[in-house]
Amino acid sequence: MTDPHVSTPAVPWRGAEPPKSVLAIRLQALGDVVITLPYLRALRYSLPGTDIDFLTRQEDGSIPRALRLFRSVEELGGGRSERRQLLLTPLLAPRLMARRYDVVLDLQNTRVSRTIRRLIRPRAWALFDRESPVAAGERTRRTIEAAGFPLPRVEAFLPLRDRNLGLDVLRHAQWDSTRDLVVLSPAGAFASRNWPIERYAHFADLWRQRHAAQFAILGLTSLREKAAVLQARLGDDLLNLVGETTASQAFAIVQRASLVLTEDCGLMHMAWATGVPTLALFGSSRHVWSAPLGDHACCLHSGDLECGACMAPTCRYGDIPCLTRYSAEHVVDRAEALIARAATTPIRVVSHHA
């Protein structure tokens, strides 16, 4: 439900016929890119005859490209530096301008994305709201609808071009497909977002007492120390895939999980956006912006505390009480309840503010 008091800058589509082509722009981190994808898939269904292209950062193009969703995925170099992105924009702009896009959905709203939109000169456009205390997914919806395209129900489902993507990695790691796969993702960017790794291990011990399960940890090489702790505790029940996958392979592997237990990170967004039961542990993160959406997701956040959602990289109290208050036993109970609920409800994206 769109808040009538929030105005999204836009020139909506007024054509008698649907647009021939749309460009969506998202130049943020990988998790933020993934958030946009269920909404763009819903747009794809509402505009079946329209070509939809996607522009993202060079390092984030593999997942959008792995989906049966876009005609083309374009990439802009420059990393996270706005200055470098602006310097490289003239190299990309002629190709985009030649396509004569009818609509630009600026899901980034930075100087770079606004420059690209002005160069393209579309008939219709809308800008992402960067400030409202509303989930990023809901702000994505508002941007698309402000451009003149009311969305149907947004489903948490993103079909891959290659259904076997990531299977070779799993099989090489001795994946047992007869057991449930539980992904553990202790990958919060800061110490204030990290549930103690020993509690992940305790969670896994309790879980395998109740369920026939195998566990996996995957992501950047910075997780190797945590992976070693889990490996020592879980032995062959852990698939240690840290540093062993591309982003698109990780995305595909997550879709095979029965549960993802995660901190605020890119893998969390991969899970809920594809309909996997996702239990997120938020410490200092601002849950009103980043919490996973839908009945197949649950967020244990810090918003009920006076110091909650502080966004500080380190805890002022030293022991991260917003996270350490959750025992492994409590998290197991919440995860089981989540899986039971997800099994009986539609796998769709619903805003917490709707």
Longest dimension (CA), the chain: 63
Coil, strand or helix at 285: coil
pLDDT at position 8 is: 84
The CATH number of 10-146 is which of 3.30.70.250, 3.40.50.2000, 1.10.10.1800, 3.40.50.300? 3.40.50.2000
Q: Where are the domains of the chain?
A: 10-146, 167-342
Residue 120's contacts (CB-CB under 8 Å, 6 or more residues apart) are 23, 96, 97, 101, 104
Residues 6+ apart with CB under 8 A from 43: 22, 52, 144, 149, 151
Residue 270: strand, helix, or coil: helix
Identify the weakest region by mean pLDDT among 4-18, 22-36, 84-98, 125-139.
4-18
Q: What is the mean pLDDT of residues 107-121?
A: 97
Query: Residues near 178 by Cβ (< 8 Å), separated by ≥ 6?
Result: 212
Percent of the chain whose predicted confidence (pLDDT) is above 90:
92
Mean pLDDT of 37-46: 97
Asked whether the beta carbons of 39 and 141 are under 8 A apart, the reply is yes
Quick one: pLDDT band at residue 265, thresholds 50, 70, 90? very high
In this predicted structure, what is the pLDDT of residue 349?
86
d(CA 46, CA 333): 39
Phi/psi class of residue 241: alpha, beta or left (left: φ > 0; alpha: ψ in -120 to 50)? alpha
Q: What does pTM read for this prediction?
A: 0.94
351 pLDDT more than 70: no
Q: What band does 126 get if pLDDT is binned at 50, 70 and 90?
A: very high
Which residues have C-beta within 8 Å of that of residue 329, sequence separation ≥ 6? 206
How sure is the predictor about 348, in pLDDT bands with cuts at 50, 70 and 90? Answer: confident
Q: How confident is the model at residue 244 (pLDDT cuts 50, 70, 90)?
A: very high
Minimal CA–CA distance to 54: which of 14, 96, 90, 13? 96
pLDDT tens per residue, range 306-334: 899 999 999 998 889 999 999 999 999 99
CATH topology identical between 10-146 and 167-342: yes
Q: What is the mean pLDDT of residues 251-269?
A: 97
The architecture that CATH gives domain 167-342 is 3-Layer(aba) Sandwich (3.40)
Report which of residues 55 and 306 the model is more confident about.
Answer: 55
- Residue 292 reports pLDDT greater than 80: yes
Q: What is the pLDDT of residue 324?
A: 94
> Residue 27: pLDDT above 50?
yes
Nearest-angstrom CA–CA distance, 125 and 103: 5
Residue 257 pLDDT exceeds 70: yes
Tell me which residue of 117, 110, 57, 71 sits closest to 93, measured CA to CA: 117
